[in-house]
Structure 1
Amino acid sequence: MLITVKDVLELDGFKHARIVAGKKGLSNIVNNATLMEVPDIFPYVDTHSLLITTLYPIYNNETATNELIPKSVELNLAGICIKPIRYIKEIPPTMIKQADDLDFPIIELPQDANLSKLVTEILELSLNKHINILNFRNHVHESLMKLFLKGEDIDSLVNNLSEIVKFPVLLLDNDLNITHMSKDLEEQEVSIISFSNNHGNNRFKVKVKDIEYEEEYYIKHYINAGKTRFGYIVLLKGEVNNQSLIVAVEQASLLIASVFYKNYAVLEKEKSFQDAFIRDILQGKIDSPIDTINKAKTFGWNMEFPEVIMIAKLLMEDDKKKKLLYEYILDSKYIEKILEEKLLINSNKIKTVYIDDSIVIFINVIFMNNIKENCIEVGKLIVERLRDKVKIGIGISNTAKDMDSFSLAYKEAQSSVITGSILNQNSFVSHYSDYEMFNIIKEVKDIEILNRYVNNKLGKIIEYDKVNDMRLMETLKVLIEENFNVKKSAESLFIHYNTLRYRIDRIKELGIKIDNGFEVGELVLAYNIYLWLASNQR
C-alpha cells in the first residue's frame, strides 16, 4: 500500500502536529523523509519526499523563503513539516497562501518535536510497508508457482490470482479480445471498449454489465515472454489504490507468460508437423486416403470433399513486415473470423496454413451453392478487410473432388495468383476457371513452340514496352477484355478516348491487326499463352 501524507499524520510523533495549508494534498505519496539542513536542499531531495525543517537555513533569506513551496511542488515533493518558534515566530503567510493555491501540505510541528525521530518514524513506516509488499509478492509467487509446477492451465492461475487479491481478473490478447476471465465474471456480460490515441497505443475501458472501468480503475500489465507479447492481464480494482495489487499483477504476468510460452512452443511444434503433412498432400505424397483423413483430424481439420483451395499472397517488398502480418493473420484467425462474421462459412469448414510465402486456405464447399461465385465473394471480403493494411492477391482453384485432386487444385490457385499479379496493379481476386484456355495450352509439351508463337504475334509489342512508357500490352489486355470496344476500354484504362486511339495506331504500326476477326482470335490465343508462360516461369 502507498503511504500518503494522511498516513504520516497518524503516526505517534505527529499526534500534536496540525495541517495549516494545502489540505487537498493529503493524498500525496510519501516515499521517504528529508531533513532540511542546508539552504540548497533541492539537489539532495528525492521525488515524493516529505521535507522536515525549522526553516533555519533560509529564515533570513526572503527570496529563498518565497521560492521554497513553488520549487517543492515543481520537484513533486509530498509536503513540508515546519517547526516554528525557535527561528521563526510563525509560518510565513506567503508560504501558507502558496501552499493552499498549489494543494501542497504544510504541517506545523509542536515546539517539542524531535525532527530526527520524526524522520526515523516515517522511514520505518515506509520500510514496514515495503516489507509487507515483498511478503505479499512472495505469497502470490508461491501460490501461482505451485499451480504452474503442477501443470495447471491458465484458467487456474487467473482464478487463483483473483481469489488472492479479491478482485476480478481477465486476460486479453493483443487485439483486446477477452481470452480468459476469473469465475466472478463468467456469469456477467463483459466487453472491451477500445479507443486509439495519437501514439498508437492500445487504450480501452472494461464494461461489466452497466459498470464501465476507466483506465484509473484497473491495473493493466503486459504478458511478455522474451520478445513475444501475448497480450494483457487486467485487474479490476475499482477505486482501491494499493501497491500490493500492482506487485501481484506483475508476478502473475510472469508466470502466465511462462504458460503461454510453453503452449506456444508446443503449438509451433505441432504447426511444423502440420505444415509438413499438408505440404505432402499438396505434392501428391499420399499413401492411404483414410489414414490421411484421420491424421488431418489430429490437426483440427475435418477433411471432406469437395474442397476449394484459395491462396492469399501479400504483395509487399518489406519481408520483415510481411512475415509479421502473415503471423498476425494466422495466429489471430483473422480470415476465419471474417468469414464467420459474415456468416459465409463456419470456421470448422476452413483450414489455413502458411506455405511458400503465402497463406493456403482449404475451404469445404460440400454444402455451398454457386461455389465459384461464393468463393470469389469470400476472396473479395478478405481483400476488402486487408486493403488498408497491404496489397493482397487471392487465387482460387477449381473444385477438388477428392484427395488426389489437391495437387492440381493447389497449382491452379498458384497460377491464378501469378496471373492476377500480372494483370492487376492493385489487390485482386483471381479464379482459375477465368483462364480455361490454360487447360488447352498446358497440353502443348514443347514450350519452345509456345514461345515462338507469342514472339511471332506479340513480340514487337513486348519489345516496344521495354523501351517506351506507352503500356501497349496493358492496352491490348483491356481491349481484349472489353471485346475491342474503344469507348469502354478508354474508361477502364482511365485515359482519354483520343489517347487510346493513339495507342491503337501504334499497335497497328507494329504490325498487329485488330480489325480482322481471325487475326484477333490468334491475338487472344497469343495473349493467353503469354500469361500462362509468365505464370509458370514465376
Structure 2
Amino acid sequence: MITTVANILDLDELSGAELVAGGGGLGNTVNNAALMEVPDIFSYVDKDNLLVTTLYPISNDEEAKRDIIPKLSELGLAGICIKPGRYVDKIPSIMIQQADELNFPIIQLPEDANLSNIAVGILEISLEQHIRTLDFRNRVHKTLSKLFLNGADIETLVNSLADMVEHPIILLDDNANMMYVSKDLIQYDVDIVKGGMDDFIIQINNRIYNRNSYIKHLIVAGGTRFGYLILLGKNMRQKSMVMAIEQAAFLMAAAFYRIYSILEKERSFQDALVRDILAGRVQSNIDAINRAKTFNWRIDFPQIMMAIKIISDNEEDMLKSYEYILDRKVIERLLDRRQIIDRDSIKVAYMDGMIIVFMGAASMRDIKRESIEIAEVILDELGGRGRLSIGISNPVLNVEEFPTRYDEVCSSAMIGKALNGMSSINHYDDYRIFDIIMSVRDRDVLRKYVEDQLGDIISYDRTENMNLIETIRVLIDENLNMKRAAETLFVHYNTLRYRVGKLRELGMDLDDGTNVGDISIALSIYLWLVANDDWDI
C-alpha cells in the first residue's frame, strides 16, 4: 500500500485541517515531509515530499508567492500544508487558482497546528510503509530463492510470484514474444505490441494495458538479455511491487542462466549426433531414432531439411543473430505457436555457418509446397535480422540419404549469396540441373561458359548493384511475364522495364528463345559455383 495525500489527512496531527485546492491530486504519493525554512526551498525538497510551512520565508514576496505552486508541482511534490494567521492572513488566491489547475493539493492547517508534530507524523507513517515494503521484498526473495534452489522451473517461479503480489505476471523474451503467463491469464487471449524504447501495449481480451498500468523489469545475466518480467495492475506505483519485481527479475535471470548452461552442454552432445547423421556415420534408421530420443527429438521419415543463412559482412552481428535464434528456440517456438509442426518433430542445430532445421514431413500432403510455406513463415519471423537465404532439401526418405540432402540444402541456401537484393527461399528441386553441373569435372569450362553468357551483367551488377542477376532469375521463373516478375521482385513495373532495357544494352536478347535457354543454363551454373565458393562475388 502506498501513502497518499488522502491518507495524510487522516492523521491525528492534521485534525481540523482542510483541503482548500487541488483535490485532483489527493492520490499523490507521499514519502516524506519537508519544513520550509528558507525562501529558496526548491533545492531542499525531493519528489513526493509534502511541504509544511507558514509561508514566513516568502510572506513579503508577492512574486515568490506566484511562483511557488507551479515550481513545486514541476518538481513532483505531493502537495503543500499551509498554516495561515501569523505571517499571512490567508492563503493567496493566486495559489488556490494555480493549485486547482495543476491538481496540486493545498491543505490549510488550523491556527493551533504544530508543524513539527505534523512533519514527525508524516515521517512515521512513511517509515512504517517503508518497513512493510522491505518485509514484503524479503518475503518475495526468500520464497523465490527457496524455489530456485530446489530446482523449480521458470513457470513455477512465475506462478509463485503472481500468487504473492496478487497480480497477473507475463514473461516475455527479448523480442517481446510471450514465453509464460501466470495461471490466472491462461484462459485469456494475450497480445503484445512492442513500441519504441522497450515499451509495450498489452491487450487481454478487450482490455488495454499501457506503461502506466504495468511494471516492467529487464531480465539480464552475464551480459545476456533474456527478456522482460511484467506485472499487470490498475495502480503500479507501489514501491513494494517495484521492489518485488526487481527481486523476481534477479532470480529469473539466475534461472535462465542455469537453464542455458545445461542446454549448452546438451547442445554439444546433440550437435555431435547431428554431425554423425550428416556425415553418414549413423547407417540405421532405428539407431538414429533411438539416439535422437535422448534429445526429445522424434525422427519420422520422410524428413525435410532447411538451411538458414544470414548474408552479412558483419560476422559479429551474424553470429549474435544465430546465437539468439538458437538460445531462444525462436524457430521451435514459432512453429509450435502456429501449430504447424509438433515441437518434438523439430530439431535446430548450427552447422557450417548456417542454422540447419530438421522437421518431420509425414503429415504433409504436398511436401514441396508446404515446406516452402513453412520457410515463408520463418522468413517473416526472422526478416528483421537482415538478408536471409533459406534452402530446402528434397525429402529425406531414410537415414542414409541425410548426407546427400545436406549437400543439397547447403547449396540451396548459398544461392542467396549470388542474389544481391532481398531475402530468398530456394528449393533444391528447382535446381535439378545442379546434378548435371556437378558431373562436369573441369570447373574452368563452367566458369568460361558463365563468363561468355553473363560476364558483363555480373560485372555491371557488382559496381552498380542493380540486382540484374536476380531480375534474370525471376523473369525466367515467371516465363518472361513482366507483370508477374515485377510483383515477385516487389518493384514497380517501370523499374523492371528499365532493368530489362539495361540487360538488352549489356547484350542479352530476351526475344530469342535459344539465347534465353543459354542464359538459364549459365545462370544455374553461376548460382552453383557461388554456392560452392567457386566464384568470387
- Residue 70 (structure 2) pairs with residue 34 (structure 1): no
Note if contact 2:201-2:208 (Cα within 8 Å) is conserved in structure 1: no
The verdict on how the C-alpha distance between 1:191 and 1:221 changes in structure 2, with shifts beyond 3 A counting, is farther
Q: Which one of 501, 504, 508 corresponds to residue 507 of structure 2?
A: 504
Note if contact 1:293-1:303 (Cα within 8 Å) is conserved in structure 2: yes
Q: Which one of 438, 444, 454 corresponds to residue 451 of structure 1?
A: 444
Note if contact 1:454-1:527 (Cα within 8 Å) is conserved in structure 2: no
- AA matched with 1:300: N
Aligned to 1:130, what secondary structure does the other structure show?
A: helix
Other-structure match for 1:17: 17
Within 5 Å, which residues of 2 pair with 1:181-192?
181-186=181-186, 189-192=187-190
- AA matched with 1:11: L
Other-structure match for 1:264: 260
Note if contact 1:462-1:473 (Cα within 8 Å) is conserved in structure 2: no
Other-structure match for 2:493: none
- Residue 99 (structure 2) pairs with residue 99 (structure 1): yes
Instruction: Give the gaps of 5 or more residues in structure 1.
Output: 509-513
Name whichever of 335-344 and 90-99 sits farther off. 335-344
Note if contact 1:307-1:401 (Cα within 8 Å) is conserved in structure 2: yes
Q: Once the 2 structures are TM-superposed, how far is the Cα of residue 365 of structure 1 from its aligned partner?
A: 2.6
Aligned-partner Cα distance in 1 for 2:297–2:383: 28
Other-structure match for 2:308: 312
Other-structure match for 2:531: 535
Q: Once the 2 structures are TM-superposed, how far is the Cα of residue 213 of structure 1 from its aligned partner?
A: 4.9
Other-structure match for 2:134: 134
Q: Once the 2 structures are TM-superposed, how far is the Cα of residue 49 of structure 1 from its aligned partner?
A: 1.9
Aligned-partner Cα distance in 1 for 2:182–2:170: 6
How many residues align? The count is 523
Aligned to 1:132, what secondary structure does the other structure show?
A: helix
Aligned-partner Cα distance in 2 for 1:487–1:76: 64
Aligned-partner Cα distance in 2 for 1:81–1:69: 12
- AA matched with 2:78: A
- AA matched with 1:419: I
Within 5 Å, which residues of 2 pair with 1:333-352?
333-336=329-332, 345-352=341-348
Other-structure match for 1:414: 410
Aligned to 1:504, what secondary structure does the other structure show?
A: coil
Other-structure match for 1:371: 367
Q: Once the 2 structures are TM-superposed, how far is the Cα of residue 453 of structure 1 from its aligned partner?
A: 6.0
Name whichever of 82-91 and 351-360 sits farther off. 82-91
Q: Once the 2 structures are TM-superposed, how far is the Cα of residue 409 of structure 1 from its aligned partner?
A: 1.0
Within 5 Å, which residues of 2 pair with 1:283-362?
283-286=279-282, 290-336=286-332, 345-362=341-358
Note if contact 2:82-2:108 (Cα within 8 Å) is conserved in structure 1: yes
Q: Which one of 188, 193, 196 corresponds to residue 195 of structure 1?
A: 193
Other-structure match for 1:511: none
- AA matched with 2:507: I
Other-structure match for 2:492: none
Instruction: Give the gaps of 5 or more residues in structure 2.
Output: 490-495
Q: Once the 2 structures are TM-superposed, how far is the Cα of residue 380 of structure 1 from its aligned partner?
A: 4.0
The verdict on how the C-alpha distance between 1:96 and 1:481 changes in structure 2, with shifts beyond 3 A counting, is closer
Q: Percent identity?
A: 43
Aligned-partner Cα distance in 1 for 2:102–2:279: 75
The verdict on how the C-alpha distance between 1:81 and 1:226 changes in structure 2, with shifts beyond 3 A counting, is same
Note if contact 2:168-2:182 (Cα within 8 Å) is conserved in structure 1: yes
Aligned to 2:47, what secondary structure does the other structure show?
A: coil
Aligned-partner Cα distance in 1 for 2:88–2:405: 94
Aligned-partner Cα distance in 2 for 1:528–1:480: 14
Other-structure match for 1:435: 431
Note if contact 2:478-2:485 (Cα within 8 Å) is conserved in structure 1: no
Larger Rg: 1
What is the alpha-carbon root mean square deviation over aligned residues?
Answer: 3.9
- AA matched with 1:256: M
TM-score by length of 1: 0.83
Q: Deviations over 1:404-444 (max 9, x none)?
A: 22111111111222335335643222232333333234344
Note if contact 2:453-2:522 (Cα within 8 Å) is conserved in structure 1: no
Other-structure match for 1:204: 201
Q: Deviations over 1:63-121 (max 9, x none)?
A: 22232223222222222222222223333333333333333222232333332232222
Aligned to 1:537, what secondary structure does the other structure show?
A: coil
Within 5 Å, which residues of 2 pair with 1:21-170?
21-170=21-170
- Residue 216 (structure 2) pairs with residue 220 (structure 1): yes
- AA matched with 1:195: V
Note if contact 1:478-1:489 (Cα within 8 Å) is conserved in structure 2: no
Aligned-partner Cα distance in 1 for 2:351–2:231: 39
Note if contact 1:58-1:64 (Cα within 8 Å) is conserved in structure 2: yes
Note if contact 2:82-2:107 (Cα within 8 Å) is conserved in structure 1: yes
TM-score by length of 2: 0.83
Q: Once the 2 structures are TM-superposed, how far is the Cα of residue 477 of structure 1 from its aligned partner?
A: 6.2
Note if contact 1:472-1:503 (Cα within 8 Å) is conserved in structure 2: no
Note if contact 2:456-2:506 (Cα within 8 Å) is conserved in structure 1: no
Aligned to 2:189, what secondary structure does the other structure show?
A: strand
The verdict on how the C-alpha distance between 1:36 and 1:261 changes in structure 2, with shifts beyond 3 A counting, is same
